[in-house]
Chain A
Amino acid sequence: MSKKGITDRVAVIGMGCTRFAEHWDKSAEDLLVEAAYEAFADAGVEPTDIDACWLGTFASGLSGLTLSGPLKTQYLPVTRVENMCATGSEAFRNACYAVASGAYDMVLAIGVEKLKDSGFSGLAVHEPPSDGTAPGITAPAAFSFLAPAYFAKYGLDEQTGKEVLARIAWKNHRNGSLNPKAQYCSEVPMESILKSPMVAAPLGIMDCSGVADGAAAAILVRTEDAHKYRKDPMYVKALAIAAGPGDGRLTQDFDFTSITENVRAAKEAYRQAGITHPRKQIDMAEVHDCFTPTELIIYEDLGFSERGQAWKDVLNGVFDLEGELPVNPDGGLKSFGHPIGASGLRMLYEMYLQLQGRAGKRQLPNPKIGLTHNLGGFPWQCVSFLSIVGKELS
């Protein structure tokens, strides 16, 4: 099976991102308009320059009309995609292929989610009709399976384990405190994280990502056209997504200390981008920290840490803003917030700002290669997306 990829064939020339927050005064339509027009202005293009759009939303609207209505796009093709929490990344991935194929010259990829109109804290999803026997487990509970399994396998006592997880949340809040667009732009002391009310043992509320409304957008062209619009575009080095067959809940092999979809998607992305030593070759990453143990597992699944070592790397500050490999410099899902359909594009937005040196107080010193990782589903079955983006053509 040939997997050629489209390394360096697509460039991002403009991006926009609303603040992620409980936007009581804004609808999904408002958020789409804000993110799209920020991206148009950033790229220096007019809405009429766009040839086609890819819209990602998990549950804030059906069909391309969710975008064409508020933006008043003039009878353009608009494709709505959905891939659970990886929805925003999926919109971006499909838009990249549309440009690379030559079918369109300029494409808008945009993601939105309006979660805070439901009246519920946390996610409230309408499932398709079913026999109703699937366990009604919530997302934090599903991901909490990872923690005791990891602690047991690598010999962490409960106290140490909790501290490792809290350290991840602490880091992401610290990064978010430097980001004016983050849902929670303030630091949170370790003690408050450790003492936060239990949601799904051992996870407290401060181990969970922020539930927010928001939208993020990217404008894509082929690499050869990029310099018509800006001198510092972001190049797409690799795109990979792995959808799992679900063997994690069917067979006893799956031990909840690694998410196979992550490993497979990373392998494919690294192949496309020629990455052989991810910890050394990648300068920064935005990963899917929906819950703190997810980020811990991701470090190992993506090869940032050796198996069984990520918890030590966490405590040693390897993934801090000043560390060897900064992860979630914008605050991540934890602090920036997680409006499902927008999150994947929000991750790319941070890479874009960092590569251009526009990340303000959290700017990293001259990063060249960034990675985004976006996951949708459950530990035992999910879609896992990876992108690798860069400042320079290889």
Chain B
Amino acid sequence: MIGIVSYGAYVPYHRLERKKMAQAFGDRPSSGEKAVANFDEDSVSMGVNAALDCLAGFDEKSVDCLMFATTTAPYDEKQSTATMAAALDLKPSIRTAEITGSLRASASGLLAAVDAVASGAGSALVVTADCRLGAPQGANEQWFGDGGAAFLIGQGKDVIAHVTAAYSHTHEHIGSWRSRGDAFVRSWEERFVQNIYGETVAASVRGVLEQSGLAPADFAKVVIAGPAPRAQWSAAAKLGFRKEQCQDTLAETIGMAGTAHAPMMLAAALETANPGDRILYVSYGEGSDAIVFEVTDAIRQLPARRGISGHLEPKNSELLYHHYLKWRGILPTEPARRPDTPRPSVTAMYRNYEQNLGLYGSKCLACGTPQFPQQRVCTRCQAKDRMEAYRFYGKPAKVATFTIDHLAASPAPPTVFAVVDFAGGGRMLCEVTDCDPHEMRIGMEVEMTFRRLYQAGGIHNYFWKAKPKRQPGGKGTEGES
């Protein structure tokens, strides 16, 4: 049977407390906080980092199909899946699709992946991430959060959650929308939307229950997408689900991450699921998809991954509202008195995509020295053209030395640069992100994270940065000396 073989998730390090947004306008504060993509993150980078979590321990070359679901793709014209495939080191012969324009996109991706496997693909990777904007002082701004999730769909004994039934229902209505040129999501009156929402999810849930012969009581968990944090509870209750069956909406800790939101809840549900559990997954957009998952014994064998829980702590909740506005480009600020960043050379990017997106350096076949960036003549033994590709991603790494640059132009100065030494050889001079300059230490352990360096001339330039390696659930950094 076909189903989920592996899952992963990504939540940005930074959180914005809702009371800070409210306080900025003298409004009544809402509870909790939302996850906020750093200035160097977007849906593509968050999707890649979620997919890396999902693929940990799996052979990335066995993936036959990559689907990316988002409503906030960086380009209107130019697919992001090729960028992601290169960053994930997938094989060139994969089939790719970017599914956009709807909060249902991720469910469409999951179902398309199931269909792809049913029609012969060995495995299909579904990645979803979102980074939506609500206008300042609005409810959307309060509740939208950023993040991503990824699922490897396949079949056979490694499946941890079979797809046993699925039912789709399409129903035209306009609940929330964003037209070309709009920066912010618009929403229709809440009471109307909640009403239509209830009808829509009811149609798909009743359909799948009828098809599968199951009743609400047969499910350990229901993962239900919704237009607002509390709308989900009442919709689930009306369908006959008890409150304890409802998967936590993540509204208090992460916020609602667009089309990635229900998949992130699904990842969280899988983290605590036991063999034999049934999970009902319900999407919502211009219609709804209901999918029944049955958890198998194989879930016990899946190696530990970060998932959602591993991203909840450590975090930085010190982010200020105006910094968030600056990062998202909502608040124009005085530019640094430095030259504008020129657009990158697309030709040079084309030559170097394996290196820059896949984090491939070269390793000398004569003397064994790994080097980044790739070299033709070995820096140690000067052997010419005797290099093999060498991937630096995943190698343990430590800070050899670092600096805190107050002069470099950045949306979040000062910029931390470090010389990073990798276990097994090789070093990289790169930016350090998601860090407090005060926590930097020589000898500190770091890991590489995929980021968007900048956008210039309409071109988004993705690359890798180091970030402090933090123990999931812990507070500090590792390897301090």
Contacts and interface: CB of A to CB of B under 8 A. Distances in A.
Interface of A: 118-122, 124-127, 129-133, 135-138, 140-142, 144-145, 148-149, 152, 198-201, 245-247, 249-252, 255-256, 380
Nearest to B350: A131
A251 B424 CA distance: 11
A312 to B, nearest CB: 23
Contacts of B122: none
B372 A132 contact: no
Contacts of B337: 119-121
B352 interface: yes
B408 A137 contact: yes
Contacts of B343: 132
B407 A133 contact: no
Interface string B325-364: 0000000000001110111110111011000100000000
A125 to B, nearest CB: 8
B471 interface: no
B407 A251 contact: no
Nearest to B407: A138
B380 A247 contact: yes
21 contacts: A120-B338, A120-B339, A130-B348, A131-B349, A131-B351, A131-B461, A132-B453, A132-B454, A136-B415, A140-B405, A140-B407, A145-B401, A199-B407, A246-B379, A247-B379, A249-B428, A250-B379, A251-B369, A252-B426, A252-B427, A256-B400
Interface of B: 337-339, 341-345, 347-349, 351-352, 356, 369, 371-372, 375, 379-380, 400-409, 415, 417, 419, 421, 425-431, 437, 442, 453-454, 456, 461, 463
Chain A interface main SS type: loop
Contacts of B380: 247, 251
Contact of B379 (A119, A201, A251, A256): A251
Contacts of B454: 132
Nearest to A144: B403
Contacts of A120: 337-339
Contacts of B369: 251
Contact of A249 (B347, B403, B427): B427
A135 B345 contact: no
Contacts of A142: 403
A86 B409 CA distance: 26
Contacts of A252: 400, 421, 425-427
A250 B339 contact: no
Contacts of A148: 401-402, 442
Contact of B405 (A129, A130, A137, A247): A137
A149 B403 contact: no
A141 B401 contact: no
B378 to A, nearest CB: 9
A135 B430 CA distance: 6
A123 to B, nearest CB: 10
A291 to B, nearest CB: 11
A120 B375 CA distance: 34
Contacts of B417: 135, 137, 141
A344 B81 CA distance: 51
A131 B86 CA distance: 15
Contacts of A138: 405, 407-408
Contacts of B400: 252, 255-256
A145 B431 CA distance: 14
B409 A201 contact: no
A159 B285 CA distance: 60
Nearest to A249: B429
A135 B348 contact: no
A133 B453 contact: yes
| Nearest 4 interchain pairs by C-beta | A132-B344, A141-B405, A129-B345, A131-B348
Given A130-B344, A130-B348, A135-B429, A249 B419 contact: yes
A200 B407 contact: yes
A93 to B, nearest CB: 26
B403 A145 contact: yes
Given A132-B349, A140-B407, A251-B380, 17 more contacts: A122-B338, A122-B407, A124-B338, A127-B342, A131-B349, A131-B351, A131-B461, A132-B343, A132-B453, A132-B456, A133-B356, A144-B405, A145-B402, A200-B407, A201-B403, A250-B371, A252-B426
Contacts of A133: 344, 352, 356, 453, 461, 463
Contacts of A135: 417, 429-431
Contacts of B421: 252
Contacts of A127: 342
A138 B337 CA distance: 13
A277 B407 CA distance: 40
A158 to B, nearest CB: 13
Contacts of A199: 406-407
B429 A137 contact: yes
Given A120-B338, A251-B371, A256 B401 contact: yes
Nearest to A146: B401
A73 B234 CA distance: 88
Contacts of B341: 132, 136
Contacts of A125: 339
A200 B416 CA distance: 9
A129 B379 contact: no
* From B344, B417, B437, residue with most partner A Cβ within 10 Å: B417
